[in-house]
Amino acid sequence: MSIDRFPVEASHIMMFARSVADANPIYYDEEYAAGTEPGKIIAPPTFAQSSAQFDPDYFLRPKIGEPWFGSGKEATGIKRDSSGGGGGGGGGGGLHAEQHFEYHRHISPGDVLTATVKPGKTWERESKRAGKLTFSETITEYRDQNGELVITARGVGVRTERPVDQ
Amino acid sequence: MALSASSLNIGDSYEECLVEDLKRTQLVQYSGASGDYNPLHTDEIFTTQVAGYPSVFAHGMLSMGMTGRMLTNYVGDGRLKSFGVRFTNQVWPGDTLHSTATVEEVTQEDGDPVVKLKVETTNQDGKVVVSGYASARVDP
């Protein structure tokens, strides 16, 4: 899995900042941003995750002409062997357990990134609240238009045996 | 407004309210911006009837994103060097979240003064929903 082209765009940054309720003008106001230490609009710290928009195979985005597992007439658009919760069982891909970012440089509109994704460790654990948990790690390296490493991200996903008890 | 290593003390902390009474519409907004359209976050029918949860719930990355807002408000823009979290409990519509950064260490990395922070976001019941760390470049 990889992303060949993740153009960092001002309107995407603005919409992302709004969605995390961050009113900081450095995320949308060029004139304000020019007077800050970075000197230009930058992206919020977790913005790189929205590279999903540019991943052609991202499985949590409905795709034109393909079945989608969310509800329509029925509660799910795809009948599948559900392993129960966590959106596991083929559809939801489990839950997000951990996320880590290392910033080598802060990204700005105009950057055009690529992302390479490598699998990391996998491990299992028993939990009282959700049965057997299967963890898997991925490491994503974001590089800019000059091939420089800008962000290293490490994500851990977990599949649960059943929905997490509340 | 950057932090200064000379005026930081171990145990100093900074706190913000991240959200009061989290709305389902914000989950829709985050789905659209981030590109993560997992129905667990926006599709009540799928989530209750198929996935077996009491309601839709927030993306971990939404809680992390709002926690990041607290961090950048504290350390300043473009100052973060690292930020990592574990998602320890789910966040639900109606939740009110508070987030705290606590100074654990003031050190040097690559010749720059750096602050290491413990990061914790809790819900209205005091349950930790996001637990992690961050480091940021600070002024001398």
Closest by Cβ to A101, choosing from B18, B45, B83: B83
Pick the closest to residue A137 from A118, A150, A159, A162 (CA basis): A118
In order of their start, the domains of chain A are 2-8+47-70+78-160 (3.10.129)
Q: State the angle between helix axes of A10-19 and B60-75 in degrees (0 to 180), rounded to the nearest 10.
A: 100
A135 touches chain B (CB under 8 A): no
CB contact under 8 A, A164 and B90: yes
Do B115 and B135 form a contact (C-beta atoms < 8 A)? yes
Residues of A with Cβ-Cβ distance to B64 under 8 angstroms:
46, 99
CB contact under 8 A, B78 and A24: no
Mind listing the pLDDT tens digit for each residue in A53-88?
Answer: 999 999 999 999 999 999 999 999 886 554 444 433
Q: Considering all CA atoms of chain B, what is the largest pairwise distance in Å, rounded to the nearest integer?
A: 55
In order of their start, the domains of chain B are 5-137 (3.10.129.10)
CB contact under 8 A, B50 and A76: yes
A-B contacts at Cβ under 8 angstroms: 165
Mind listing the pLDDT tens digit for each residue in B77-104?
Answer: 999 999 999 999 999 999 999 999 999 9
Residues of A with Cβ-Cβ distance to B19 under 8 angstroms:
21
Closest by Cβ to B65, choosing from A15, A46, A75: A46
What is the value of ipTM here, to two decimals?
Answer: 0.97
Q: State the angle between helix axes of B24-34 and B60-75 in degrees (0 to 180), rounded to the nearest 10.
A: 80
Mind listing the pLDDT tens digit for each residue in A85-106?
Answer: 443 333 345 889 999 999 999 9
* DSSP state string for A36-75: SSS-S----TTGGGGGGGG-TT-TTS--TTS--SS-SSSS
What are the phi and psi torsion angles at B102 (to 5°)? Answer: -125, 130
For residue B91, give the H/E element and its range. Answer: none
